[in-house]
Homo-oligomer: A and B are copies of this chain.
Amino acid sequence: MTIHYPDGRSYRDDGQRQGESRSVDYGKRGMTLEEDLNVTNRYYLETDRAVIYKKPTPIQIARVDYPRRSAAKITEAYFRKASTTDYNGVYRGKYIDFEAKETTQPTSIPLKNFHSHQLAHMRRIKRHGGIGFIIVRFTRGGSVYLLDADYLDAAWTEGTNGGRKSIPLSLFQKHGYPIETHFAPRLDYLTAVDAAYF
């Protein structure tokens, strides 16, 4: 369920803020990347292919009322920045961890879509034997790619050392794995995971 507020912003059932990377309408479906991934993960769960969830948005609670003992009501709270990536779970015996972003830029995704603590998190994941990657949708062309976290890491290092501040689409085309859109699973990223890691 999506709740729409007078100012036009919307909040969804899963408590997820539609912030920073904004809701983008990319055709008939009109679904954000996050919505597509939620539907996909539910499908994977129901078909017993993997157990992967989006983590709840971390919220800083400042005040709570207790109108009734059984229903605490939060009356003041704020969104906090996540210190990890948004998605994790288990697939084919491996720990899976990823961050998903969409960009309206036609030929690259700006590095500012990611945060240094997310980079640090993905480095740790890989060091401990997990699978870490990003999923990026280029909303104009409609293409979606899986790219191993090492490439994000390399681009990040380059960017912080005075190099380019974005990852070009061409790098995704060369080193990434395209993710196909179907009816179900909507965004079949595990097939790309199969190709990339197994």
Contact = CB atoms under 8 A, between A and B. Distances in A.
Interface of A: 3, 5, 7, 9, 11, 13-15, 17, 19, 45, 48, 50-51, 53, 55-64, 66, 71-80, 84, 88-97, 121, 124-125, 127-130
A48 B127 contact: yes
B97 A64 contact: no
A11 B72 CA distance: 12
Contact of A95 (B80, B84, B95): B95
User: In this complex, which of A90, A96, A124 has the most chain B Cβ atoms within 10 angstroms of its Cβ?
Assistant: A90
Nearest to A7: B66
A124 B49 CA distance: 10
B13 A60 contact: yes
B72 A73 contact: no
A87 to B, nearest CB: 11
